[in-house]
Amino acid sequence: MMVVVLLADQLSKYWILHGLDLPRKISVAILPWLNFTWVENRGVTFGMFGGRAPLLFMVVSLLACLVLLGVMVRSRSRVVSLCCGAIIGGALGNVLDRSRFGWVEDFIHCHVTIGGRTWSWYVFNVADAAIVCGVFIWMAYSFYSDWKMRRRTVG
């Protein structure tokens, strides 16, 4: 999963940069609720802490990857291992961007307009999606496993 996510992230960013030439176009409508919008994210998740201490962000990300790699290798759960792989692959994809460009290439922009009001999500990339999905699925799986174990001991 780690390699799949890393490749999907880097290939999508390469295509956005060189194939679609998004930096020149800035934004391209794909669907009524989806645009590809060029953003150079110098912060961390959703642009927080914009541009402060990029080396620190990379070191912390790499340390987190090492910890997750240990969890992935030791886990007896395929779900946990896959989630760790998704998170590591996403983190490495963003670290590669930050080390090459000094920023992370974000381009997926979801939005919806209802009754004249527009709601817009932060612009993100494949790596970010893999990290968020990996964390969410891992948490859901952990809650489910805990609930299942408690049912066995009670009943």
Question: Percentage of residues in the chain with pLDDT exceeding 70?
Answer: 92
Mean pLDDT, to the nearest integer, of 4-18?
Answer: 97
pTM: 0.89
Name the catalytic one among 9, 21, 106, 146: 106
Q: Is the pLDDT of residue 154 over 80?
A: no
Say how far apart CA 61 and CA 76 lie, in whole Å.
Answer: 24
Name the catalytic one among 9, 21, 128, 146: 128
Say how far apart CA 72 and CA 80 lie, in whole Å.
Answer: 7
For 64, the enclosing helix (H) or strand (E) is helix 54-74
Q: What is the pLDDT of residues 23-42, one digit of tens each?
A: 999 999 999 999 999 999 98
Predicted pLDDT of residue 89: 98
Q: Are 20 and 80 in contact (CB under 8 A)?
A: no
Q: How many domains does the chain have?
A: 1
Q: Is the pLDDT of residue 50 over 90?
A: no
Predicted pLDDT of residue 120: 95
Answer yes or no: 106 catalytic: yes
Predicted pLDDT of residue 151: 81
Predicted pLDDT of residue 56: 83
User: Domain span at residue 92?
Assistant: 2-154
Answer yes or no: 9 catalytic: no
State the Rg of the chain over Cα. Answer: 18
